[in-house]
Amino acid sequence: MNGTQAILIGCRHLGDRSTISQALACSAPLHFVEDGWACMEKLQAETISLLIVGGDLAGLGGLELVRSVRSKAQFADLPIIGLCEPHDRSTAQRLARSGVHCLPRPVKPGALAAAVMRGRAARTERSWQTLPTLPRKTLSQSKALYDAISLDGGQVTTESLTIVREAAASIVDLAGTQGMPEMLEALSRHDTYTFVHNVKVASLLAVFSQSLGVGRHDCELLAQAGLLHDIGKMRTPLEILHKPSRLTADEWRIMRQHAPDSAEMMRRSEQVDAEIILVAERHHEKIDGTGYPFGLKGTQIDNLSVLAAIADVYSALTDHRPYKAGMPPEKAFDIMQTMAGSHLEPSLLKRFVTVMRDTITGAGTGMADAAE
């Protein structure tokens, strides 16, 4: 689980409480209180990573609670999410002036999960300053990349592509040292799922490709492809991206669109290598031809995409999400073995498992425990 700090929810509305429980089931321990004064006591007594406030509290009301929290120095940077009535702009504006991110009722699970991720991310990023230089540089460059792409509306510009190359070079450098497990463990405490997943895939590909004896240029291409392979998810509605229950057929069709969307977004920039675009487009293709978006089979899939598919599946199985805890590495390996020959290339998968056991989940790294 991403850290042990709890989320405190001050709310009496039963519908909101149910939605919060559903959306954040695996993100952290959840503490519910119905009284504003009890909320303040809980904040003083326990380590809380984020506060969610409804306007229906007994005792100390929502606005008064926020003002009281912000008046205390130790809570000055505590992430707070406010649940507001959709037409109550006055309350939303007053909360926003206190640094509160407001969500309208009825609360949507996907939007709530995304808001929690963003709220806790800044605190996590500050903790990166304690890391050694190379892991800290790698994480900072990777985060700068996603910030730049988000600000540019999902476009890969000359500026963001420069950051991609710099971050990929740092990831490849890190893969040749003993610092990768420490960086991945720090990354696992971050809450922004698409960012974490892409950086993790890039890191896994850098480690894996080096173990195969791939040249520096191709290692960096794979790392760049990992960093960019899911940027199309910026177009995926949050309600689908963070939906805790099974997707409907229509929602699944929208989710699968992220692969061609990622490729299309990168094709707008003439500077993106063709191999990187293919990985973004084909990382969900399967050896037996049952993948998407094209149903390519066997040797129709380029080698870099075959490698990326293995890292992508491992990351997806072991990643944490607000509604689902990540699997331990060994359980993920067991599941991946059942995909050999159908989804994943068998000989490369066998090599990948060996490398991950030695490099990422080895004794003393803490990664095996971090994934549970």
CA dist 208 → 84, 172, 298, 338 (Å) = 47, 10, 21, 20
Position 237 pLDDT exceeds 60: yes
Return d(Cα 140, Cα 162) in angstroms, integer: 14
Q: How far apart are CA 218 and CA 206, in angstroms?
A: 9
Average pLDDT, the chain: 89
Residue 260: C-alpha distances to residues 200, 242, 267 (Å): 21, 20, 10
- 176-213 pLDDT, tens per residue? 888 898 899 899 888 788 899 999 999 999 999 999 99
pLDDT for 367 beyond 60: no
Count CA atoms within 13 Å of residue 338 on its CB side: 5
Model confidence at 155: pLDDT above 90:
no
For residue 34, pLDDT beyond 90: yes
> Which candidate, 237, 254, 309, 315, places its Cα nearest to that of 280?
309
What's the predicted TM-score (pTM) here? 0.81
Q: pLDDT tens across 241-258, in order?
A: 888 788 999 999 999 999
Domains and CATH numbers, the chain: 6-107 (3.40.50.2300), 129-370 (1.10.3210.10)
Mean pLDDT of 339-351: 97
In which band, very low, low, confident or very high, does the pLDDT at 299 lie, cut at 50, 70 and 90?
A: very high
Residue-level pLDDT at 70: 92
3-state helix/strand/coil string of the chain: CCCCCEEEEECCCHHHHHHHHHHCCCCCCEEEECEHHHHHHHHHHCCEEEEEEECCCECCCHHHHHHHHHCCHHHCCCCEEEEECCCCHHHHHHHHHCCEEEEECCCCHHHHHHHHHHHHHHHHHHHHHHCCHHHHHHHHHHHHHHHHHHHCCCCCCHHHHHHHHHHHHHHHHHHCCCCHHHHHHHHHCCCCHHHHHHHHHHHHHHHHHHHCCCCHHHHHHHHHHHHHCCHHHHHCCHHHHCCCCCCCHHHHHHHHCHHHHHHHHHHCCCCCCHHHHHHHHHCCCCCCCCCCCCCCCHHHCCHHHHHHHHHHHHHHHHCCECCECCCCHHHHHHHHHCCECCCECHHHHHHHHHHHHHHCCCCCCCHHHHCC
Residue 362 has pLDDT above 80, yes or no: no
List Cβ neighbours of 205 (8 Å cut-off, separation of 6 or more): 222, 223, 225, 226, 307, 308, 311
